[in-house]
Amino acid sequence: MKLALHWKILIGMALGVLAGYILGNVFGMADFVADWIKPIGTIFIKLLKLIAIPLIIASLIKGISDLKDISKFSQIGGRTILIYICTTFVAVSIGLMIVNLIDPGDKITDATLQELSSSYSDAASMKVSAAQNQKEKGPLTFITDMVPDNIFGAASSNGNMLQVIFFVILFGISLLLIEVEKAAPVKAFFDGLNDIVLKMVDLIMLMAPYAVFALLASLVAETTNPDLFIALGWYALSVVLGLLIMIGVYLLIIKFYVKRSPIWFLKGISPAQLLAFSTSSSAATLPVTMERVEEHLGVEKEVSSFVLPVGATINMDGTSLYQAVAAIFICQALNFQLDFSDQLTIILTATLASIGSAAVPGAGMVMLVVVLEALNVPQETLAIGLALIFAVDRPLDMCRTVINVTGDATVAMIVGKSVNKISKPNPKNWDDHLENVR
């Protein structure tokens, strides 16, 4: 019996956790896992990142050129940005509601606080320094950084994805504005390039179940001091509960606005969600997200090719929710009192920070420092506050990346529905598609 892709990935994840625990904690072979198993997952992530920028260039240019009308593009772009801001606002508000109800910071003892601070103080200090460098930039730096001065230099790093998108949008608009006869050869080239890159996605996805096995095995084998995870259980529960509620919000939108089955939606996007969980990277998951949204959720390419790359760069619903929970948790644990205006400050700052966080290494943690500084948390306690959450940041990062990817797919369906660019459910089977690749 042939298993669907998402079942293969789930089995790979389960076996990876089991193998990581046995090899790392029972037999003490963590070095073996790091040397011989983890590289498989690392290669897979590199392959996904390898095709991210070529996919954006080919797919976005094809999508814009297929519009044949510049007014359609402006319509899609404006709705996309507005909806992304709204979903981020909702995510931050949900995070604040959950953390205030559970009150996880009051459950951290002084002994645990001291142990966490000593264990992760160096890493926390590095994040504070990175955030300080970001803060010293001007208020419009984010906008000026979007405009590249060398497209080849911008395309050489996935961290410059917004710059690539800026150039590609300008290129695509210009392609629409010239004579059709002159544009035809260029459009044909990028149409062909898009098909080639999508075939590369097919080939890379054959490796997915084995890669997630390697990624989860290495994560579990490298995990140390599980007692710290237990101590931070209420905080982790607050984040995960908030993320689950956000998933519920997406499913309600799919059911009542897009008029599609939530189960159908989850089945269609699940391979991208599982890869997001394994890789902790929206950018690395982007090729798979685009493939699933177009092939299985029926969003036309002219919508998905714009909405999804932009979303992978600026739409961070899961990260924003996490920032809200983490900020309140840290303040609770450090007995730093917050009033209602401070809570509003978190909503505003976390929403804006999610848009500007794409170009910042370790974006979520770095932008959390910006949120805490907006609350006037003393500089000397910032590192202690960050040290509180470092122990569980990696698994929570995996969870919030799932929300980021799911949010991107949801917004793509919302925009597709609003401009009548979404088709009926496609019965095409993904695994049959991959079988043909073999």
What pLDDT tens digit does each residue of the chain (438 aa) get?
578 788 898 899 999 989 998 998 888 898 999 999 999 999 998 998 898 889 888 888 887 887 777 777 778 888 998 999 999 999 999 999 999 999 988 877 777 667 666 655 555 555 556 555 555 566 567 678 789 999 999 888 877 877 888 898 899 889 988 888 999 999 999 989 988 988 998 899 889 899 999 988 998 887 655 656 666 889 999 999 999 999 999 999 999 999 999 999 999 999 999 999 988 888 889 999 999 999 999 999 889 988 998 888 788 899 899 989 999 998 888 888 888 888 888 888 888 766 655 534 356 677 788 788 888 887 767 777 787 787 788 888 889 999 999 999 999 999 999 988 888 665 554 444 444 444
pLDDT of residue 361: 39
Q: Which amino acid is at 248?
A: G
Position 37 scores a pLDDT of 94
Instruction: Supply the pLDDT for residue 134.
Output: 56
If you ran DSSP here, which 8-state letter would residue 107 be given? G
Nearest Cα to 37, choosing from 222, 239, 244?
Answer: 222
Domains of the chain: 5-437 (1.10.3860.10)
Who's near 238: CB < 8 A, 6+ residues apart?
Answer: 98, 99, 102, 104, 325, 329
**Is 406 within 8 Å of 266 (Cβ atoms)?**
no
- For residue 316 the two structure tokens come to 């961070």
Q: Which residues pair with 422 in a beta bridge?
A: 299
Alpha carbon 118 to chain centroid, angstroms:
30
The pair phi, psi for residue 281, each rounded to 5°, is -140, 115
Residue type, 220: V
- Residue 315, pLDDT score: 85
What pLDDT is recorded for position 404? 93
294 Cβ partners below 8 Å, 6+ apart? 300, 301, 304
The distance of Cα 282 from the centroid of its chain, to the nearest Å, equals 3
State the DSSP code for 33.
I
Give the whole-angstrom CA distance, residue 195 versus residue 200.
Answer: 9
Cβ contact 33:221 at 8 Å: yes
The closest alpha carbon to 92, from 344, 360, 396, 416, belongs to 344
C-alpha torsion sign, points 372, 376, 377, 382: positive
Amino acid at 250: Y
pLDDT of residue 350: 81
